Structures are given as structure tokens and as C-alpha cells.
Amino acid sequence: MSIISLRLKLRRLFKLRLNWSRSGYRSSSRIGQWFKWLAPGLLVKRWLLISAGGVLLTSLGLAIWTGMTPIFYILQLLRGFLEWITQIIPNSVSGPLLILAGLLFVFWGQSRSFNSITQVFTPEGDQELVDRLLALRRLNRGPKIVVIGGGTGLSTLLRGLKDYSANITAIVTVADDGGSSGRLRREIGVLPPGDIRNCLAALADEEKLLTELFQYRFRAGDGLTGHSFGNLFLTAMGEVTGDLERAIAASSKVLAIRGQVLPATLSDVHLWAKLEDGRRIHGESSITEARGKIVKIGCTPANPPALPKAINAIQEADLIIIGPGSLYTSVIPNLLVPEITEAIAQRQVPRIYVCNVMTQPGETDNYSVADHIRAIDDACGHQLFDAVLVQGKVPPAQALIRYAQEDSHPVFIDREAVKELGRRMVLTNIIEVDSDTGYVRHNSKRLAQVLLRWYSRV
């Protein structure tokens, strides 16, 4: 036998074995999918048993109603048929064969039924129905999490948390007055939808497509230029439903989001800040542009009423997360609503603040971790959290150079000062560098994992 012919035979043998292993893997995978339906908590087995019981009860009722006559003749016919079968094939062989045939029919029928249902709920075929049901049960049993903040930091966190729980409530600031949200606020008189739009997109199942759609900004059109589609969508929904709260609820159903997004208040809130040099700046976007050290921040009207659903969510929460986000223009505005701060202060559940990684020019120049904590304590008058999550690893040198050009630097970690403020520090590595912009961002998955791991250990 030549070497070439030997190679050809070995190659054919390898291909044949590979095909066997693939078919065996597919078979074992299909059997594994069947056994998943027996997993606890799916609420499938009990209903199948109840259905089988219903068939038996129906048959018994029919037999009693008709005086057993049809059942008697059917049993007699079945007995004659079985006797005829056993005369041809011994019962030691025919019995097991019929049992096997019956089981095959049951599995075939159930498999085809579930496949038909799966095609309805997962038309793209990217996930088995049982896997989707198991994931849904797991998410519905997740902890009740309340996240308070605004800006891109909040939506980044929500993007990671939604893989661990469907019981998420995002409480969002409505003090934004810049960009598309500010224009809609001034021209139409609606509450700013920008941060709410980002949170809805982050919590949606089809997040990538919805994010692109909601973030799309019109580049032409009289009055449309610069507006994002998501802002216009929420504004139109508010006109249809009557107010922003109903608009968010209706949009949440349309987008099939996990959890809920709530504005901190429905009042038309405007921020103001008193700077160290004595200036008093009005407007969220103007505060950062003033480039001064903030010594006091407040809002007009003072003490706005909280949304009742937001208070209920806080009272039922298992975990409360504050931040991340711009300290004075995204996080603290929510805490200027007295009912929200009082509700958080009264809760005895794990509460944690996610500190920013870099300082923000015009807001937190030269701030340390302890400075962020003091700013929150001074603004609301309560100690709202027990721990603070801090990025422990310094960002890459290339990112630091880019930030230094904008007068931004890593937030200084002053352990002793944080300890004196009665807070525990959770040091971790939760950042990544955006390849397009070069800026540092929280990694949504790692951030969610660290927070939930900390929550499970508290």
C-alpha cells in the first residue's frame, strides 16, 4: 500500500468519525434541551400533569354519563386486538416495542409542539424557547435594584445590570437644559428627555439597534437639525399620553425594557450653583461652563415633590446604587428632592456610591474620593451610602495624556479621609478605554459584576 493511498484512507476515516461525533453531539444537545424543560421554576411540568389529569377526568365523566357502554366496547375491541398481536409476536417482544413506539410518539409530538411555539417567540432561531424561559425566570428572581443618577454613566451601569435582574428602577434627573433636551424644554415646555432616552435604550432587549435609533441626530431639516430621534419620540409620546411619566411607561412597553425608568420629579427643575468667587450661576449647562469651584448647589423651585413611584421603588429596594455620573449635574440633582433623600436614608439595605474615575473640569477640579462624598453629604444633609466603589488601577498613560490636555486628572484616592467619613472603600478595576475617542469609560459588565458580588457578601 502506497503512502498516498494510506493518507486518503486515513482522511476518509477521520471525516467519517467527525461526522459521527457531530451527529452524536447534535443528538445529545437536543436531549439536553428536552431535559431543560424539567428544570424547577419553569411552571411547565405542573400544567402538563394537570392537562393529563383533565383528559382522564373527561374520559371518566364520559364513561359515567353514557353508562360505560362505549368504554366497554372499546376495551373489548382493544383486548381482541392485543390477543391477535400476541399470537403473531410474543408479548415479551411486542410489549416493549409498543412502549418504545409510544414514548417516541410522545417525544416527537412534544418536540414538534415546542418547536412551533419557539418559532413564534424566537423567529430568528438564535435561542431555544426553554433557554429564554430559564433566563426570564432567573432575571425575574433577581434583586430589586434602584440606581440613581444621570448622563452616560447611568446608562452604562444599566447596560450591565440588566443581565442579572429584571427588577431594576432607574431614577433619573430632569435638570438637563443643554443640547437637544434643552431646546425641547425651551421651545415646547417639556421636561428634558435626554437622560431618560439613554436609560430606556440601555435597558431594552434589542439594545444595539435601539441605541443607534434613539441616538440618531437629524443633520438637516428646518428645526430638526441637532435633535435626536429618541428625544422627539419621548416628546411626542408625552403629548399623546398627557405627561412624561405616562410617556415613559408607554415607551417602556413598546421597547420591552427590563425594569423601569422614572424621573426623580415631574416639576420643572432648574439648577443653580454658588461659586467660591461669589458668582451665582443658573442652569445645568452654565454651571460647568463657569469653570469655578462650586461651594453650594440647589434648584428652583426648592424642595420639588418626588414621583410617588420612585419613593415606592426605594422603599422596596434590596440594593441602592448612587452614580456614576457628573457629580453636580447628574447625581446630586436627584438628591435635591427631599423625599428621595429621606427615603434612601431610612433604608437599611446595602447602599453604595460609584465614584467617578476622572475629575471633571468646571465641576470637580482636583477632587478626591472624600471630596465627592462630602459634596453629596452637604447637598442632601444625610449619609446616604455605606460604601464607595473606586477605580484602583491608574488609567493607561495615553489616556492620561489626553485628559491632561483638558485639565482632567484621576480622582485622588484618600483612604484615611474616606474612613473618617464612615465609609468603606471597594477598590477594583472596572474601566476600559474607548478605542474611538480615547476616553476612559466604566466597563458595564465588570461594573455590574463587582456591584452584585459586593451586594452578595454584605
Burial code of 384-418, b = ≥16 C-beta within 10 A, e = fewer? bbbbbbbbeeebeeebbebbeeeebebbebeeebb
Cell numbers of 319, please? Answer: 440594593
Confidence band (pLDDT; 50, 70, 90) for 169?
very high
Confidence band (pLDDT; 50, 70, 90) for 131?
low
Confidence band (pLDDT; 50, 70, 90) for 425?
very high
What's the Cα-to-Cα distance from 190 to each of 178, 250, 305, rounded to whole Å? 13, 17, 17
Average pLDDT over residues 328-351: 95
Contact residues for 428 (Cβ-Cβ < 8 A; gap 6+): 389, 390, 391, 392, 446, 450
How many other β-carbons are positioned within 10 Å of the β-carbon of residue 300?
12
Nearest to 452, CA basis, from 132, 42, 139: 139
pLDDT for the residue numbered 198: 87
pLDDT for the residue numbered 16: 47
pLDDT for the residue numbered 110: 66
Please tell me whether residue 124 adopts helix, strand or coil conformation.
coil
Lowest mean pLDDT segment, chosen from 4-13, 214-223, 322-331, 373-382: 4-13
DSSP state, 386?
A: S
Block residue for cell numbers 493511498 = 5
Instruction: Provide the percentage of residues in the chain whose pLDDT is more than 90.
Output: 43
- Please state, in angstroms and rounded to a whole number, the distance separating the CA atoms of residues 262 and 243: 12
pLDDT for the residue numbered 5: 56
Average pLDDT over residues 76-99: 76
What the chain holds in terms of domains, given with CATH numbers, is 142-172+263-269+300-457 (3.40.50.10680), 176-258 (no CATH)
Average pLDDT over residues 331-348: 95
- Tell which phi-psi region holds residue 204, choosing left (phi > 0), alpha (psi between -120 and 50) or beta: beta
Decide if 454 contacts 385 (C-beta within 8 A).
no
- Please state, in angstroms and rounded to a whole number, the distance separating the CA atoms of residues 217 and 231: 10
Nearest to 196, CA basis, from 167, 233, 226, 161: 233
Comparison of pLDDT for 253 and 322, the residue scoring more:
322
Average pLDDT over residues 128-154: 82
pTM for the whole structure: 0.76
Lowest mean pLDDT segment, chosen from 73-82, 167-176, 275-284: 73-82
pLDDT in tens, 146-161: 999 988 889 999 999 9
pLDDT in tens, 173-198: 988 887 777 778 777 778 888 888 88
Decide if 204 contacts 257 (C-beta within 8 A).
yes
- Please state, in angstroms and rounded to a whole number, the distance separating the CA atoms of residues 225 and 80: 84
- In terms of C-beta density within 10 A (0-12 exposed, 13-18 middle, 19 or more buried), how is residue 241 classed? middle
- The number of helices, as runs of H, and strands, as runs of E, in the chain is 19, 12
Chain centre distance of CA 447: 13
- Please state, in angstroms and rounded to a whole number, the distance separating the CA atoms of residues 173 and 337: 10
Contact residues for 206 (Cβ-Cβ < 8 A; gap 6+): 256
pLDDT above 70 (res 362): yes
pLDDT above 50 (res 423): yes
